[in-house]
Structure 1
Amino acid sequence: MNDAPGTHTGAAPVTVLGLGRMGSALAAALLAAGHPTTVWNRTPGKADALAAAGAVRADTVADAVTASGLVVVCVLDHAATSALLEPVAGSLAGRTLVNLTSGSPEQAREMAAWASGHGIGYLDGGIMTTPEGVGLRTSMILYSGSPEAFAAHRATLAALGDPIDLGPDAGLASLYDAGLLGLMWSVFGGWLHATALVGADGVAAGAFTPVALRWLTTVGGFLDRYAGQIDAGHYPGDDATIDVQLAAVEHLLHAGRERGVDGRLPELHRELMAKAVAAGHGGDSYARLVDAFRRP
């Protein structure tokens, strides 16, 4: 059982810089897990609710940084992070910085190099949930960077969600984050297109979606199979070949045209499949289409 927020129970102290919706959720989760939590935000009033719950409000970034051995930053962007931390680099030396600000893999690696040059342990992170999901064990938070820092603070980071260690390359958390968001939007797009399609014949989204979710479980099994094929560079068409699926997508496009549904998404799939067939890969599995997304 967790102790009351803000009480000192031996849990590691943590500082949170940035109290937007996500930063506030991070600080609240740490408080709920019993971690003495110091907070700072450019607009001090955003700390009021957290201070009432037991957080210590720091007047300056320097005061916030020196309060804890673990400093979490979650602000607008990479430029804001750099502007915030550069003046307190000396105070951060010997501490661990966890950057949960969204950015690119290149920016994460740049920040890791900066941290290393100042004697700062560094982890970059990707929060794979909304603020409401912070603190839940079912929510993933991706980390990459210093293995020593991750090992030392894993228990504390677990208060924010399930901590996933992606290894020492600091850019991987941001890279995975970008890839997973792309996957999310593709799934949402496919589901919305399908919902519009069946909805044109009067099927409610609430009736269609349970069937769609069951189908996604089946599709997930193909991802595991196809991942091995991609890594091996070998695409046996022992389930459903590209040429068969190229024929099947025509049925989807026809149904959409008849119902006035925008067909640009399935048209993209048809284009990719047609190119693969024209290149002589019609007998391969769908995983072969990974080549369409790779650099020539």
Structure 2
Amino acid sequence: MTSDNLVTVTVIGLGAMGRALAGAFLDAGHPTTVWNRSTGKGDDLVARGAVLAASAEEAVRASELTVVCVVDYDASQAVLDPLAEALAGRVLVNLTSDSPERARAAAAWADEHGIAYLDGAVMVPTPLVGGPEALILYAGSRPAFEKYESTLKALAGQAAHLGEDHTLAAVHDLSMLDFFYASISGLVHAFALAREDKVAATALAPYLNAITSILPPIAAGMATAIDEGNYDGEQANLSMMTASVDHLLHMSRDRGLDTGHLEAIKAVADRAIAKGHGADDWASTIEALKG
């Protein structure tokens, strides 16, 4: 883009992520207005060329595209509700994390007030915002996304539109975070288990690459198996793998470690086996997650 056709943007919410988003717009040359509910934030952005608006309404009216990123949808709607008239006819991108139900309600509010609405989810930490590998997911108005796709790519090189259903970004976001938090919690427990036997976390970490490197093909294969309902356990079946969970439980209990997550894993696996999936792949445990 040339300086003549750079889109004017507004960022509402100057927490760590909001500041990163505004900074990415500034780095890309977009005229950027910022506003935060509490004072004392945004001076660093102003020093880089942003305009600090005196009010949320002033911020919205300054730009054709507004991005909001606050703690949750209670906070975002508290800011946005009085701005319905100012936002009418403009595009609003909500990068606040919350549930699919809250996304649907926000979309209904936007539609009622004539606001083109995109619900989104930032899938990277703040240091990666603006980079080519960063990923932000969007759902909602396709015309709005297509019009501003190049602008939104200032925030993340990977800007994916998932569909017109406004809940899709939140569904993807929380599903991916489900995997992330379960994974890092398991990692901490693994370090704790090793530490109990005098093995340092830094000694164990290099060997964990043998596990992490096989996760992408496992994810792809498991996704196909689940979508097709075909849980071929020829390579490794659930009964065999559940025995390994038993070993982990015994070792953890012997060392006085919390075993809550392992007991939950074992309970789901046992239910799947009881349903006849003992000879199937671990993916079959999805059939036991609802009891």
TM-score higher than 0.5: yes
| Contact 2:13 2:35 (8 Å CA) reproduced | yes
Q: 1:226-245 alignment to 2 at 5 Å? A: 226-245=222-241
1:200 to 176, 185, 196: 196
Tell me, in whole angstroms, the C-alpha distance in 2 between the residues paired with 1:269 and 1:25: 37
Tell me, in whole angstroms, the C-alpha distance in 2 between the residues paired with 1:77 and 1:114: 16
- Tell me the residue number matched to 1:285: 281
| Contact 1:29 1:160 (8 Å CA) reproduced | yes
How many percent identity over aligned positions? 45
Structure 1, residues 87-113: CA drift from partner, whole Å, max 9, x if none?
221221221100011221111111111
| Contact 2:123 2:136 (8 Å CA) reproduced | yes
1:135 equivalent to 2:130? Answer yes
Compared with structure 1, are the counterparts of its residues 291 and 90 closer, same or farther at alpha carbon in structure 2 (3 Å cutoff)?
Answer: same
| Cα root mean square deviation, aligned | 1.9
Tell me, in whole angstroms, the C-alpha distance in 2 between the residues paired with 1:24 and 1:198: 39
- More off after superposition, 253-262 vs 83-92: 253-262
- Tell me the residue number matched to 1:116: 111
SS in structure 2 at match of 1:98:
strand
Structure 1, residues 228-250: CA drift from partner, whole Å, max 9, x if none?
11111221212211111122222
Shift of 1:9: 5.2
- Tell me the residue number matched to 2:174: 178
1:252 to 231, 248, 255: 248
1:57 equivalent to 2:56? Answer no
1:19 equivalent to 2:19? Answer no
| Contact 2:269 2:288 (8 Å CA) reproduced | no
Structure 1, residues 111-150: CA drift from partner, whole Å, max 9, x if none?
1111122221111111122222221222211111111111
Any gaps of 5 or more consecutive residues in structure 2? none
- Tell me the residue number matched to 1:30: 25
1:45 equivalent to 2:40? Answer yes
Shift of 1:267: 2.2
Letter in 2 for 1:35: H
Tell me, in whole angstroms, the C-alpha distance in 2 between the residues paired with 1:39 and 1:274: 53
Structure 1, residues 9-63: CA drift from partner, whole Å, max 9, x if none?
5321101111122211111111011110011122343122211210112112222
Tell me, in whole angstroms, the C-alpha distance in 2 between the residues paired with 1:260 and 1:82: 46
Any gaps of 5 or more consecutive residues in structure 1? none
- More off after superposition, 103-112 vs 128-137: 128-137
1:86 equivalent to 2:95? Answer no
Letter in 1 for 2:230: H
Shift of 1:187: 0.5
- Tell me the residue number matched to 2:92: 97
| Contact 1:9 1:34 (8 Å CA) reproduced | no
Shift of 1:289: 0.4
1:221 equivalent to 2:217? Answer yes
State the number of aligned residues: 290
Tell me, in whole angstroms, the C-alpha distance in 1 between the residues paired with 2:264 and 2:74: 36
Letter in 2 for 1:23: G
Tell me, in whole angstroms, the C-alpha distance in 2 between the residues paired with 1:42 and 1:269: 42
Shift of 1:254: 2.7
Tell me, in whole angstroms, the C-alpha distance in 2 between the residues paired with 1:167 and 1:214: 36
Tell me, in whole angstroms, the C-alpha distance in 1 between the residues paired with 2:254 and 2:40: 56
SS in structure 1 at match of 2:117:
strand
- More off after superposition, 188-197 vs 75-84: 75-84
- More off after superposition, 187-196 vs 75-84: 75-84
2:260 to 261, 264, 272: 264
Compared with structure 1, are the counterparts of its residues 45 and 192 closer, same or farther at alpha carbon in structure 2 (3 Å cutoff)?
Answer: closer
Structure 1, residues 199-249: CA drift from partner, whole Å, max 9, x if none?
222222122112213312213312211111111122121221111112222
Q: TM-score, normalised to structure 1's length? A: 0.91
Tell me, in whole angstroms, the C-alpha distance in 2 between the residues paired with 1:18 and 1:254: 48
| Contact 2:245 2:262 (8 Å CA) reproduced | yes
Tell me, in whole angstroms, the C-alpha distance in 2 between the residues paired with 1:96 and 1:251: 55
Tell me, in whole angstroms, the C-alpha distance in 1 between the residues paired with 2:96 and 2:215: 32
| Contact 1:17 1:73 (8 Å CA) reproduced | yes
Structure 1, residues 146-166: CA drift from partner, whole Å, max 9, x if none?
111111111111111121221
